[in-house]
Amino acid sequence: MTTTPLRLGTRGSALALTQSQTVADELTTATGRPVELVRIVTRGDTSSAPVAELGVGVFVSALRDALLAGEIDIAVHSYKDLPTTEHPRLHIGAVPRREDPRDALVARDGKTLADLAPGALIGTGAVRRIAQLRSLGLELQVTPIRGNVDTRIARVLGPRADLDAVVLAHAGLARLGRTAEITETLDPMLMLPAPAQGALAVECRAGDADLVETLAALDHAPTRSAVLAERALLATLEAGCAAPVAAYARLVRGGHAGSTFGDGPGEEMIHLRGAVISPDGVRAIRLSRTGTPASAAEIGKALAADLLDAGADTLMGSTE
C-alpha cells in the first residue's frame, strides 16, 4: 500500500477547509492512505462582486485548473457551485452523504421569519433565496450580501450589526458547528433549496483509474441519485430560463398515485420538487415528480419540461 499522500485541493475558507478535512479523514479511514490539503485561491474568493454577476463556476475553475495541471490529485467542491455541463477530462469520483440541504435563518432575539416585523432587513447572497423571500408576502426588505459565514452572522449578531436576519445554508452551519445560532430551519415548502445544496463533489482526473476506484469508497448512492435529479432539472432549465431555480429530491419508500416512473409497493423512490420564481417573487411555478433512483436524471429532465410547459421561461418578465 502506497504511503505517498494524496493532494486534496480546497478553497481556503473555514467552511471549505472543514468540509475538505472531513473528506480527507474519510478517505484515509477507507484506504489507509494519508491526505494533505492544498489551498487554492479562486476568483470567487478575491472578488467582492455578487456571485450572480461573477457567473457559474467562479469557485471551481482554479481548482479544476490545478487538477488538470497535476498540482493536486483530487478536489472537493460544494456541488451546487459546479457547472451542470460535465467536464470531459474530469470525473466526480464520490458524492459523500449529504448534510441537511435546507436553508436556515439566523435572526436577532431568536426570531423566526413570521416574527420579523414588516420592513425588517434580511440579507442573503442567493437570487433564489431573495426571490422566495419576496414571494412570502411578509413585507421584508431583502438585500444581497457577500462574505463567509462569520462575516454574515456578524451582520446580525455582532457589535456592528446592521441586519435583522440572514439566510444561510443549514449544511454550512452544521459543518462549522454553529447550528446553535439558527433561529429557524426553513421548511422547503417555504424556501426550496438550491439544486445540490448540502452535497459535496469529490473530483479527480478521468484517466486516473486507480483514484476513480479509490474515491468510490466515499460515494453515498442515495445522495448521488438525489443530486443527479436536481441537477438534471437545473441543466435542462438553463437552456430556456434565467429566473431563479430551486429543487429538492428526497428518497422515500413507495410511490404515490400519478407516479410517472413506477410506484411498486415498498420500492425506494425519488420525490423531486422543483420551482422557478420571478426575481421579484410575484410569480412562481412549483411542480413535482416521482420515480425510481435509476431514472434520476430522467425525472429531473421531465420536471424541467413540465416547468417550461407551465411558463417558467416567461418569469424573467416579472422584475422590479
Among all residues, which ones are annotated catalytic?
81
d(CA 116, CA 136): 12
What number of helices (H) and strands (E) belong to the chain?
10, 13
Judged by DSSP in three states, 124 sits in strand
Judged by DSSP in three states, 143 sits in strand
Q: 177 near 21, Cβ under 8 Å?
A: no
The three cell numbers of residue 86 are: 460535465
For residue 19, the one-letter residue type is Q
Residue 310's nearest CA partner among 289, 286, 290, 281 is 286
In degrees, rounded to 5, the angle at the alpha carbon of residue 243 between the alpha carbons of residues 107 and 77 is 65
Residue 220 burial (10 A CB sphere; 0-12, 13-18, 19+) = middle
